Amino acid sequence: MTPASEPRWLTEAEQDAWYAWRRMFPLVNAEIARDLGQDSGLSEADYDVLSVLGSTDGHRMRISALAELMQWSRSRLSHQLTRMEQRGVVRREDVATDGRGAEVVLTAAGVAAITDAAPLHVESVRRHLIDILTPQQLQALAEVGEVLRHHLKAPRKGRP
Amino acid sequence: MTPASEPRWLTEAEQDAWYAWRRMFPLVNAEIARDLGQDSGLSEADYDVLSVLGSTDGHRMRISALAELMQWSRSRLSHQLTRMEQRGVVRREDVATDGRGAEVVLTAAGVAAITDAAPLHVESVRRHLIDILTPQQLQALAEVGEVLRHHLKAPRKGRP
DNA sequence: GCGCAGTTGTTGATGTGTCACCTAATGAAA
DNA sequence: TTTCATTAGGTGACACATCAACAACTGCGC
């Protein structure tokens, strides 16, 4: 087989972007996750599930649909729902039209949890991210996210 | 106690930035981590430790210094080093000047692992992030990282 | 020297994500 | 109807991160 050619190492500017990328996300998210735990006793995973369910009508959703919407594996969601079910914030229900399927439903406690948590969480996100950046910087983030998401769906070329 | 005032919900533009933030990082990093595992049999944590040690002279470092440099807890690093030591890529050594202390040293296998992995990893990072974005977007990322990192060290104001 | 607070590094328990594998049900083809 | 590939969802083993607790050692004040 042919020997690998010398790789294109990162330039100074590229390294800056790469290190920023690697560092900023875990740091900021850790702050937000810490707030969420202290303020509301929820993990980020808890919050994400609750907030999606909270914005559906009937506060319910087919499990596989929820997994796809959140871009989670079914396995991960199943484990997460088991934990949340034990804590009483969601409930599983069989669905009549498909014997294999199941739905998740928010319990009253679940509705209360997300209703209480949401305002505090928004403030936390503002404090640690949104209010720190300029509108231009926020727009740049959204733009980068758009480009990357688009590229994931349709990669320009496969592995060399 | 006083009732909480209505929170400042996110505007459309702010939501775009927030969703981009939440989604792009895990997705892109999962791609890069997957490449790393397939190409080199390493986790991201493995790679980070190996690459830091590989760029020190003597291929060795005091454990607490390594933890601080990587912004890891000592506990996390200790567990990680135990796993890596079992796989033979690093070795722990007592340090003479301080009976409490210890150093990590790359083994020959460790040097080979990082030497082999680095070029493939750079290509992967280019493929999934760097080469997709324009120089302006890369600079924006670096700038945002800088602002956020600076803010973490000196928050403008405490919790209201 | 003696006592003691602080540091270094490790360990075990717990919670979570991933992977491979499993069962049950579906729907379509033979 | 019988077969069979596919789909929905769950389970158990493992890898990893975090937390609290711990032992060993240091270096300072006395």
Give the confidence band of B151 by pLDDT, cuts at 50, 70, 90: confident
| A78 CB contact with strand C at below 7 Å | no
Quick check: A21 pLDDT over 80?
Answer: yes
How high is the pLDDT of residue B160?
46
**Within 10 Å of residue B99's Cβ, how many Cβ atoms?**
7
Closest alpha carbon to C1' of D19, residue: B75
* Chain B positions in Cβ-Cβ contact with residue A123 (cut-off 8 Å): 7-8, 160
Fold of the B32-149 domain: Arc Repressor Mutant, subunit A (1.10.10)
Answer whether B9 touches A (CB < 8 Å).
yes
pLDDT tens per residue across span A108-131: 999 999 999 999 999 999 999 999
Fold of the A23-152 domain: Arc Repressor Mutant, subunit A (1.10.10)
pLDDT averaged over every residue in chain A: 91
Query: Of A153 and B67, which is predicted with more confidence?
Result: B67
How high is the pLDDT of residue A6?
75
- A4 vs A80: CA distance, rounded Å: 43
Instruction: Break chain B into its structural domains and give their ranges.
Output: 32-149
Sole residue written with tokens 């949401």: A118
- A103 vs A66: CA distance, rounded Å: 9
- B41 vs B34: CA distance, rounded Å: 9
Query: Helix crossing, B63-70 with B74-86: angle to 10°?
Result: 110
Query: Helix crossing, A12-40 with B135-153: angle to 10°?
Result: 50
Name every residue whose Cβ is closer than 8 Å to that of residue A98 and which is 6 or more positions away in sequence.
none
How high is the pLDDT of residue B3?
53
pLDDT tens per residue across span A47-64: 999 999 999 999 999 999
How high is the pLDDT of residue A2?
52
